[in-house]
Amino acid sequence: TGVIRTALHNMDREAREHYSVVIQAKDMAGQVGGLSGSTTVNITLTDVNDNPPRFPQKHYQLYVPESAQVGSAVGKIKANDADTGSNADMKYTIINGDGSGVFSISTDKETREGILSLKKPLNYEKKKSYTLNIEGANTHLDFRFSHLGPFKDVTMLKVIVGDVDEPPLFTMPSYVMEVHENAKIGTPVGTVTAHDPDAANSLVRYFIDHNTEEDRYFTIDASTGIIKTAKIFDREETPWYNITVAASEIDNPGLVSHVPVGVRILDVNDNPPELARDYDVVVCENTKPGQVIQTITATDKDNSANGARFHFSLDEGLSLNPNFTLRNNEDNTASILTRRRRYSRTTQDIYYLPVLISDGGVPPLSSSSTLTIRVCACERDGRVRTCHAEAFLSSAGLSTGALIAILLCIVILLAIVVLFITLRRSKKEPLIISEEDVRENVVTYDDEGGGEEDTEAFDITALRNPSAAEELKYRRDVRPEVKPLSRHHPSSSLDSIDVQEFIKQRLAEADLDPSVPPYDSLQTYAYEGHRSEAGSISSLDSATTHSDQDYNYLGDWGPEFKKLAELYGEIEPERTT
């Protein structure tokens, strides 16, 4: 085997990292005539931490404007290390200097740089420069090479602060002011102060940012910064206001700074106390004197300093109440007590008790409230059984449902009566008013007449008299505009009247009369003419005459015509024995 060994002492990777060695192998122990072969071996030296870090310079200078934001990176610094990999890792720290409290440094592991950041704001007018001693040290040490150390290096960094035209600076980061409610418009609330931090010390102008509605409730003097009220405040409505005040340099209005201002509205005793709620006070009929029937409390919109203590009393301007009294419990409550033994709903069912409530503010305020006390019937244990409204209904024996049913029946009866009257009025009356209706002259008798030839049974003079007919008929629905023509009836004897001539005469009168309706109408005449020359066509006496007609065919029509066939035919009726 061939073993490769170093031939030099303390080989340095940083001086030369790679080596190439040609190796030859021969057989026959290297004698002449033997065969050989060769190869190249590449050797790379591995790194060890034998080089400490070094800053290229011993002194550095950095410019940072005073307007730099806190937390931002303001510069970088780097120490060189000839080693590689983890052997070149290092950490930067600020070991001393007057700027150690203003700046901080961190290490970027990728670039192995030190990042300088700002911890506190800079002010050119207060301090124009800072000195920092920065150390860079390896984090992985190899104690075999500790004699080559130390493995760290230090440099000095001088930070120069640059002057920048800054906005005005308020004396406080925030302000809290107070003003009493109901203060007049223009009342001073407080003052804000700002100044130009630059050496020029320019004048400052103040104003309020009107971004919200609350900002319009105050005004500020542009020169002095005095804040005043622009409206009258009510603490019970809004107890606190937040506004923003801005300040800018007159020479450079673009540089503006802001500060929050809180305004607390102080309370004034301007609200009288009142009952906490509407009380439903009930007293039993069988109550005893001195019994507590209700405990009342009060509320006040003002804060505890102007109304937490309440005093209750009865109105002294009224006469002594013989029914109820009030006891102040000295704990912001009061008790209502009875003064007599019994109460009657029938005598009086409601009592009114005026109560006076005052607070402990300065000056004290008071208000009067009236309690309504109802008299009710109660059980022995004090539970309310019924009050006056329900008692009256029960004493009358009628409930609400019964009253509704009675009213409904009355309405139905009234509707029936109105409908009946309407139907009676809507019934039509005859259109024609007859001055004389001959049908009233009908004679009623029980004797059977002898037909048309029988003229002796009753007087037919009225039937034969044309004057008995209606001479004039009026219509109810049509009022004639022209007077009817007068009708003259020729005087003639009863025996000389011809029915045909009579009808023609009446027909002509109807055609010529302008008062008659223009439509067909029935003309009625109560007149019977002379007997017909053709004789009677009645069949009443046909049984006494002889007829040659044969009625036997009626028997063939069926049982429906059996009775008729017996009357006119020769079929003998069947007799049952």
Q: Which long-range contacts (CB under 8 A, 24 or more apart) does 339-343 make?
A: 339/289, 339/290, 340/289, 341/287, 341/288, 341/289, 342/285, 342/286, 342/287, 343/283, 343/284, 343/285, 343/287, 343/375
3-state secondary structure at position 315: coil
Q: Do 169-266 and 274-386 share a fold? A: yes
Question: How many angstroms separate the CA atoms of 168 and 106, rounded?
Answer: 33
Q: Estimate the share of the chain in helix, then strand, then coil, as percent rounded to the nearest 5.
A: 20, 30, 50
* pLDDT of res. 321: 86
* pLDDT of res. 430: 54
Query: What is the full per-residue pLDDT of the chain (577 aa) written as tens digits?
Result: 788 888 877 787 878 888 888 888 888 877 777 888 889 999 888 888 788 899 999 999 999 998 899 999 999 999 988 888 888 888 999 998 888 889 999 999 888 899 999 999 988 888 899 999 999 998 888 777 877 778 889 999 999 998 888 889 899 999 999 999 999 999 999 999 999 887 777 899 999 987 777 668 899 999 999 999 999 999 888 899 999 999 998 888 888 999 999 999 998 888 888 898 999 899 898 888 999 999 999 988 887 665 558 889 987 777 788 899 999 988 889 999 999 888 888 888 899 999 999 887 778 888 888 999 999 988 877 788 788 544 444 444 556 778 888 999 999 999 999 999 988 887 655 545 455 554 445 555 555 555 555 555 555 554 555 554 444 444 444 545 544 444 445 544 445 567 778 888 877 877 777 766 655 556 665 555 555 555 555 555 555 555 566 777 777 787 778 778 777 765 455 544 3
Which regions of 250-290 does DSSP assign to beta strands (E)?
256-266, 274-275, 281-284
The closest alpha carbon to 204, from 126, 125, 257, belongs to 257
* pLDDT of res. 485: 47
Amino acid in the structure at residue 471: E
* pLDDT of res. 308: 58
Amino acid in the structure at residue 337: L
Q: Which fold has domain 169-266?
A: Immunoglobulin-like (2.60.40)
Q: Domain-by-domain residue ranges, the chain?
A: 59-162, 169-266, 274-386
β-partners of residue 367 are 357
**Which homologous superfamily is 274-386 in?**
Cadherins (2.60.40.60)
**Which homologous superfamily is 59-162 in?**
Cadherins (2.60.40.60)
* pLDDT of res. 175: 95
